Amino acid sequence: MATTIHDDLFAPDVIADPYGYFGRLRAEDPVHWNAKYEVWVLTRYDDIVWLIRHPELFSSEVFKRDPRPPYPPIPEADVEMYGFVREFFADFFIQHDRPSHTEMRMVTHSYFTPRAMEAWRPMVRAAIKDLLDDAEAKGQMDVMQDFATPLPVLVIARMLGLPEQDRRFIRELAQKLLFIGRGDLNRMRPLTDGIKGLADYLSPLIKERLAHPGDDLLSVLASGETRGAFSRDEVVANAVLLLLAGHETTINLICNGTLALIRHPEQWALLQASSGLAVSATEECLRYDPPVKSLQRIAAEDVELRGNVLRKLDRARWFIPSANRDPAKFPEPDRFDITRDPNPHVAFGSGIHHCLGATLARVEGQEAFSALVDRFPALHLTTEELEYQPSITFRSLKALPVTWN
Amino acid sequence: MARALRVRVDHTRCVGNATCTTIAPGVFKLNDDRQSEAINSVGEPEEIILKAAENCPVSAIRVEDAATGERLF
Ligand code: HEM
Ligand code: SF4
């Protein structure tokens, strides 16, 4: 391996600034064998798009096929809980290959069309207004806790048709599931509790929807059982997936995007002056500091790439931040430019697993950024000491405290 | 007689999600880059083609009436 770069993906400097570390790998050793974690690290835009568009070579069935222990490691005593978590997650359709992936995804795919999501925009806008009204009354907020964390759960719970009075309860359980990507040593306990709590909560509702289908998303999902795409356990697991997949990700879009806008006052001013830029601004936020840092595949057979041989069952991780800043694809990649066009970033992945909720997330981002510049023109940080979760899956701030006075 | 359609895929948008090839396999085919090509605009009934266009997650598919140029999707 033609590089002197260390392999500690969780080192504080790598967590603080993934662009430096993965940018160097992209330049020096774009298909890098990370011996410490026994994983191939891919950092070039073209390689990544090629890899994720060849699902027959690189399987998504990571929980099912990868016998190695989780990383970062967990205590010995939690291994049993990990077994449970792993089995539950293996039912997510994001973790399936064809043909079952297609069958499962098609159950809810039509619910999320660009046209259908546009119809939810007024609801998203109203939810944002409520949250920002509360914040405004306080004079300051943690964008993370007070705004970005509740929003996606409010929206998806409404789509699923979950009762309003259960919101607080759902939020608490959903928060436990956030531990999946947060590299915390003791993450298995909250994860297990979150999964069990949500599964217990959702099961009777799913049964009810099967008997009396409505037009909500939970009914649509449950209809997958009627048509043979899902078992009951799989319906329950994938209802949890819909709650989970859009949570940490949308939080990070809002927080990372808000931070990028704050740090580039001329771009903030530009967005403020022309609300028509909300669409391209959201795309640039997704490119510049993407919510998802990396995802994994398992080689389904021996594959050659740039002179390396990835052996069957080898793990391969693709790093979105470095793909999105690849100078071979994006002119002036380190420049934050909310008018950038074209902007073919891979924040939502690509190929058959391209994010099911992409249009919804875009609507949430557009509405959130528009509302912030509109209501809080003087928004600024109350501290420069920002910290990130020690995760290689997500690019998650721990907090984003701001004020506007 | 069904009207003739013009079907196009915008490759600056297509992410190779393969929804169109699942819904309308007689019309769309993935190329070597795993992006969709409209190879046969009469390969499926009009309603199926419109359904594929509507279900493209990134709105990359455009469907027009070939005779009038009217945009159908
Ligand atoms: C900014 C917000 C979001 C980002 C950055 C994001 C990112 C991603 C990425 C990168 C993938 C590809 C996974 C892979 O290839 O292994 C994905 C898949 C997925 N996302 Fe999102 N996501 C976001 C929001 C949402 C929302 C709001 C939902 C809610 C419905 C959602 C549901 C899903 C599902 C169900 C999949 C699996 C798709 C499949 O396997 O076919 N996501 N997302
Ligand atoms: S559905 Fe859209 S994104 Fe997917 S392959 Fe077809 S044209 Fe491309």
Find the residue in A nearest to B19 (Cα): A352
Has residue A33 got a pLDDT over 70?
A: yes
Measured CA to CA, the distance from residue A379 to residue A136 in angstroms comes to 11
Segments making up each domain of chain A, as ranges: 75-289+340-403
Query: Which of A294, A321, A315 minimizes the C-alpha distance to A391?
Result: A294
Q: How far apart are CA A235 and CA A231, in angstroms?
A: 6
Residue among B35, B44, B46 at smallest CA distance from B10? B35
A-chain CB neighbours of B54 within 8 Å are 113, 115
* Residue A331 CB contacts under 8 Å (≥ 6 apart), including other chains: none
Structure tokens at A36: 């410490």
Lowest mean pLDDT among A52-56, A66-70, A104-108: A66-70
Residues in chain A: 405
Residue type (1 letter), A123: M
Strand bridging mode A31-34 / A401-403:
unpaired
The amino acid that residue A171 corresponds to is R
Q: At residue B26, does pLDDT exceed 80?
A: yes
Pairing of strands A401-403, A380-381: antiparallel
How many of the other CB atoms lie within 10 Å of CB of A76? 7
Q: Express each pLDDT in A271-307 by its tens digit.
A: 999 999 999 999 999 999 999 999 999 999 999 999 9
Give the orientation angle of helix A150-160 with respect to helix A358-375, to 10 degrees.
130
- Give the Å distance between the CA of A321 and the centre of ligand 1: 16
CA distance B48 to A204: 36
Q: Rounded distance, CA A137 to CA A148, Å?
A: 17
Task: Give the pLDDT score at A187.
Answer: 87
Length of chain B in terms of residues written: 73
Q: Which has the closest alpha carbon to A42: A319, A295, A292?
A: A319
Interface test with A, best of B11, B14, B19 (most A CBs within 10 A): B19
DSSP A263-284: H-HHHHHHHHH-GGGHHHHHHH
**Which residue of chain B comes nearest to A99, CA vs CA?**
B22
Q: Which ligand is nearest to the CA of B53?
A: 2
ipTM of the complex: 0.96
Ligand 2 proximity of B38 Cβ (cutoff 6 Å): no
- Does residue A1 register a pLDDT over 60? no
**Number of Cα atoms under 13 Å in the Cβ half of residue A22:** 28
Give the minimum alpha-carbon distance from B71 to chain A in angstroms, rounded to a whole number.
16
d(CA A315, CA A332): 31
For A139, left (φ over 0), alpha (ψ -120 to 50), or beta?
Answer: left
Tokens of A159: 């789509």
Could you say which of B15, B33, B55 has the minimum Cβ distance to residue A113?
Answer: B55
Peptide bond into A333 cis (omega under 30): no
Best probe residue, ligand 2, of B37, B54, B58, B59 (max atoms within 8 Å of C-beta): B58
Q: Is the pLDDT assigned to residue A2 strictly greater than 60?
A: no
**Residues A135 and A122: beta-carbon distance below 8 Å:** no
SS3 A206: helix
The answer to which of A84-93, A334-343, B14-23 has the lowest mean pLDDT is A84-93
CATH 3.30.70.20 fits B5-65, yes or no: yes
Strands A39-42 and A31-34: antiparallel
**Domain A75-289+340-403 -> CATH class:** mainly alpha
Confidence class of residue B1 from pLDDT cuts 50, 70 and 90? low
Model confidence pLDDT, tens digit, residues A111-126:
999 999 999 999 999 9
Q: Are A400 and A386 in contact (CB under 8 A)?
A: yes
- The gap from C-alpha A244 to its chain's centroid, in whole angstroms, comes to 9
* CA A89 to centroid of ligand 2, rounded, Å: 27
pLDDT in tens, A249-263: 999 999 999 999 999
**One-letter amino acid identity for A248?**
E
Q: Residue A6 CB: number of other CB atoms within 10 A?
A: 12
Closest-lying ligand 2 atom to the alpha carbon of residue B61: 7
**Residue A53 C-alpha, separation from nearest chain B C-alpha, in angstroms:** 6
**Count of helix runs (H) and strand runs (E) in chain B:** 2, 4
Residue A203 sits at the vertex; the CA angle it makes with A197 and A208, to the nearest 5 degrees, is 145
- Taking the C-alpha atoms of residue A284 and residue A319, their distance in angstroms, rounded to an integer, is 17
- Res A202: pLDDT: 96
- Do B7 and B62 contact (CB within 8 A), yes or no? yes
Taking the C-alpha atoms of residue A240 and residue A194, their distance in angstroms, rounded to an integer, is 10
Nearest-neighbour CA in chain B from A339: distance (Å): 16
Task: Kindly indicate the confidence band of residue A405, based on its pLDDT and cuts at 50, 70 and 90.
Answer: confident
Residue A349 pLDDT greater than 60, yes or no: yes
- In the predicted model, what is the mean pLDDT of chain A? 95
Question: Any residues with CB less than 8 A from the CB of B29 and at least 6 apart, and which?
Answer: B21, B36, B37, B39
Best residue in B28, B34, B50, B59 for a mutation probing chain A (most A CBs within 10 Å): B34
pLDDT-derived band of residue A333, with 50, 70 and 90 as boundaries? very high
Ligand 2 closest atom vs CA B15: 3
Q: Specify the pLDDT at position A3.
A: 65
Residues 30-59 of B with CB under 8 A from A: 33-34, 54-55, 57-59
For the segment B19-24, the average pLDDT, to the nearest whole number, is: 98
Q: Convert the pLDDT of each residue in A364-403 to its tens digit.
A: 999 999 999 999 999 999 999 999 998 899 999 999 999 9
pLDDT > 80? residue A135: yes
What one-character-per-residue DSSP string does A330-356 give?
SSSTTS--TT-SS----TT--GGGS-T
User: Can you tell me the distance from the alpha carbon of A144 to that of A303, in angstroms, rounded to the nearest whole number?
Assistant: 41
The whole-angstrom separation of Cα A348 and Cα A287 is: 10
What is the predicted pLDDT for the residue at A71? Answer: 79
pLDDT tens column, A196-244: 999 999 999 999 999 999 999 999 999 999 999 999 999 999 999 999 8
Q: Where are the domains of chain B?
A: 5-65
As given in the structure block, the two tokens for residue A151 are: 């929003």
How many whole angstroms separate alpha carbon A322 and alpha carbon A20? Answer: 9
Largest CA distance in chain A: 61
Beta-bridge partners for A33: A40
Which ligand approaches the C-alpha of residue B9 most closely? 2
Distance from the Cα of A371 to chain B's closest Cα (Å) equals: 24
Asked whether A333 lines ligand 1 (CB < 6 A), one says no
Binning pLDDT at 50, 70 and 90, where does residue A183 land? confident
Task: Choose among B12, B15, B59: nearest Cβ to A114.
Answer: B59
Rg (CA), chain B: 11
CA–centroid distance, residue A323 to ligand 2 (Å):
21
